A and B are shown apart, each in its own frame.
Chain A
């Protein structure tokens, strides 16, 4: 259970030495209770207190890592039910399941599809996170060979087998990559837990049909046995069953500090749907609602791209929209007489506009005004993208020194500020561009024709 600030205070040295950066031990205790500082900031705390407090101040959902070093996938450690309360921290891993019984060519092909996929969106590199190898051959050797093939790819790995001997063959083949063992159930949990200990790997605990009490009991048993890096599968599969189970687990962990369910959750949308499109839609639900690992069966770039985009959306910190630095950007080597466009520094706006200018094949200057990270319409409504700000941006970026003309294209949505801008930028011609970025290529074509 979480401790109150006062309870924590009683365990601290109470010397008010200030070395933690807070004026009193009590103030530090309050911060600890609110999980806003780490206990390690106190240099004088006793070992005994440390052990006690560490477990009490542990995050409500444990942080679990798959893999290590450069290819570590970290999931869990969430602290809220709704993203507007703070933010969601660790985006769910998107994993593709491959059966070990696929023939060589097919297995290699599918593995490469996952390993080679990467796409840029809003300046970020988005890619799937890993591969789950499913034991469907029934042969430990085959399983181990496939795992060995995956181990060289720098992906997170999940090993799926209910047979401990096969699992151990896979763990050996994974060459210390700390794969997730899937899964310990009520029948095999002890040998699976032994393997988790022996290989230092995280362990998934599988419940049955969404029975959360049974799942909690099993998780507690495994944790009590000494394996604490756990991932939970409630066993629910369909739309509403999964939503109910994952919501109750999240609430139990965060609102009730219920440790036995305070672990990341793994989901299998392909098992709760009838075809690949429904699988992709159910995966969307899992991104929206509390999954930490999403194991997909069908690899389809169109679906993957939409899921990567959704994941990026939902896991953006609501307090910190992704921004770009204000200034004058060169798109495709512009000359002094190339057109000048202005937009806001909300990164989605910037990348949409920059992408279209680039796609048009016509070099241009793109002036990014500081709109405090808001999109064109929002910024305009909030007074963060008006004539004054645009004029200021023109001066700050020393635009007149770089370009030889005096005309500037403003977004169509803010056509109404043309007059004001003419006053702010004396002698300039204000041109009204298209409302949507998608209209930029044809606009630039028209502009060039004069």
Chain B
């Protein structure tokens, strides 16, 4: 006996743009490795329905100053490399990172207030220490972001780095720096489809190529708003696949940053015994945040803990395996 299964495949009219980070010597850069994400013609990992030409990749967060508010689990795992961004980046590459997400945190007025000169020096050193493409984040304070991101974009001219975050309040400066130095921007908006679209349109008006934008929809951690990110990412991806050209860029999420803010990952003080072993819980908190974001369309996942890297890469490998292969 046989029952004909109805055809459940959707016919999508849109396609996610391919965005490349990093440039080798042939393209004016010095990167030994480049990364291309995006290009999907279907929802995440539905191989029966469409093409998924590029796998999602893991970026690892590196800071230009030793973080003073990180969980001791992270501090222990990274050890002395936390004090030197170049060593940290090299170590992350060795542990399986595919992109280095360098945060120029020391430029923050309350965390060192360093300027353009120091930013250039850090970028130069990290570029030398790793063959991977870079994401470069400012300290998240508008004036200082503008100062150090412009300097970093110039220092890394031709390397096709991603500059972040490019937000409504500072997008002009960041986009101009990307335009002048052939870089990519990370367009970040707070968990809202329309705001994401709006910012993309504004960036487009400045004539930055559409394939030089990554969308950061703002990440909620497991237990702390993950479901909002889940639904917003699904809606962004559905809009992109049904033809909304202002939302067709790959998605980048900060799973590490968010998961390690959660009490569950960060600490073991006064927590219920039912929460289980701290080290296991913390790494799984980050990894399971990442899994849900993968399922909803993340193309780049910025992670923090060394042990999370291979776990998330294993999930990606499993999801990229075509059925029956």
Residues in chain A within 8 A of chain B (CB atoms): 82-84, 117-121, 210, 212-214, 216-217, 220-221, 236, 238-241, 243-245, 247-248, 251-252, 255-256, 258, 260-261, 272, 274, 277-278, 280-282, 284-285, 288-289, 300-307, 309-310, 312-314, 316, 318, 348, 352, 359, 375, 377-378, 381, 436-438
Query: Which residues 272-294 of B sit at the A interface, judged by CB distance below 8 A?
Result: 272-278, 280-281, 283-285, 287-288, 291-292
Among the 9-residue stretches B59-67, B200-208, B225-233, the one with 4 or more Cβ atoms under 8 Å from chain A is B225-233
Give the interface SS of chain A, mostly helix, strand, loop or mixed.
Answer: helix
Query: Which residues 191-250 of B sit at the A interface, judged by CB distance below 8 A?
Result: 222-227, 230-231, 234-235, 238
**Cβ A306 vs Cβ B2 within 8 A:** no
Sample of 24 A–B contacts (CB below 8 Å):
A84-B231, A121-B223, A217-B3, A239-B319, A240-B323, A243-B319, A244-B46, A248-B5, A282-B318, A284-B288, A284-B292, A300-B276, A303-B280, A305-B264, A305-B275, A305-B281, A306-B288, A309-B264, A313-B223, A318-B227, A318-B231, A375-B225, A438-B263, A438-B267
In the assembled complex, how far is the CB of residue A262 from the closest CB belonging to chain B, in whole angstroms?
Answer: 12
In the assembled complex, how far is the CB of residue A94 from the closest CB belonging to chain B, in whole angstroms?
Answer: 14
B295 at the A/B interface (Cβ < 8 Å)? yes
Q: Which residues of the other chain, B, contact A258 by a CB distance below 8 angstroms?
A: 5-6
Q: Which residues of the other chain, B, contact A304 by a CB distance below 8 angstroms?
A: 276
With A and B bound together, what is the CA distance between A220 and B288 in angstroms?
36
**Cβ B227 vs Cβ A314 within 8 A:** yes
In the assembled complex, how far is the CB of residue A229 from the closest CB belonging to chain B, in whole angstroms?
Answer: 19
**Cβ A302 vs Cβ B320 within 8 A:** no
In the assembled complex, how far is the CB of residue A20 from the closest CB belonging to chain B, in whole angstroms?
Answer: 33
Q: Which of chain A's residues has its CB closest to B191's CB?
A: A378
In the assembled complex, how far is the CB of residue A348 from the closest CB belonging to chain B, in whole angstroms?
Answer: 7
B311 at the A/B interface (Cβ < 8 Å)? yes
Q: Which of chain A's residues has its CB closest to B280's CB?
A: A302
In the assembled complex, how far is the CB of residue B140 from the closest CB belonging to chain A, in whole angstroms?
Answer: 13
In the assembled complex, how far is the CB of residue A199 from the closest CB belonging to chain B, in whole angstroms?
Answer: 26
**Cβ B318 vs Cβ A238 within 8 A:** yes
The total of Cβ contacts below 8 Å across the A-B interface reads: 173
Interface centre among B8, B266, B292 (most CB of A within 10 A): B8
Q: Which of chain B's residues has its CB closest to A249's CB?
A: B8
**Cβ A260 vs Cβ B3 within 8 A:** yes
Interface centre among A118, A244, A278 (most CB of B within 10 A): A244
**Cβ B288 vs Cβ A280 within 8 A:** yes
In the assembled complex, how far is the CB of residue A47 from the closest CB belonging to chain B, in whole angstroms?
Answer: 30
Cross-interface CB contact of A436 among B1, B222, B261, cutoff 8 Å: B261
With A and B bound together, what is the CA distance between A437 and B223 in angstroms?
14
**Cβ A82 vs Cβ B234 within 8 A:** yes
With A and B bound together, what is the CA distance between A210 and B211 in angstroms?
37
Q: Evaluate whether A240 and B8 lie within 8 angstroms (CB atoms) in the complex, with A281-B311, A306-B281 already known.
A: no
In the assembled complex, how far is the CB of residue B182 from the closest CB belonging to chain A, in whole angstroms?
Answer: 34
With A and B bound together, what is the CA distance between A310 and B221 in angstroms?
10
Q: Which residues of the other chain, A, contact B320 by a CB distance below 8 angstroms?
A: 240
In the assembled complex, how far is the CB of residue A407 from the closest CB belonging to chain B, in whole angstroms?
Answer: 25
Q: Which residues of the other chain, B, contact A84 by a CB distance below 8 angstroms?
A: 231, 234-235
B130 at the A/B interface (Cβ < 8 Å)? no
Q: Which residues of the other chain, A, contact B3 by a CB distance below 8 angstroms?
A: 213, 216-217, 220, 260
B83 at the A/B interface (Cβ < 8 Å)? no
In the assembled complex, how far is the CB of residue A442 from the closest CB belonging to chain B, in whole angstroms?
Answer: 11
With A and B bound together, what is the CA distance between A315 and B230 in angstroms?
12
Q: Which residues of the other chain, A, contact B291 by a CB distance below 8 angstroms?
A: 281, 284-285, 288
Query: Which residues 1-18 of B sit at the A interface, judged by CB distance below 8 A?
Result: 1-6, 8
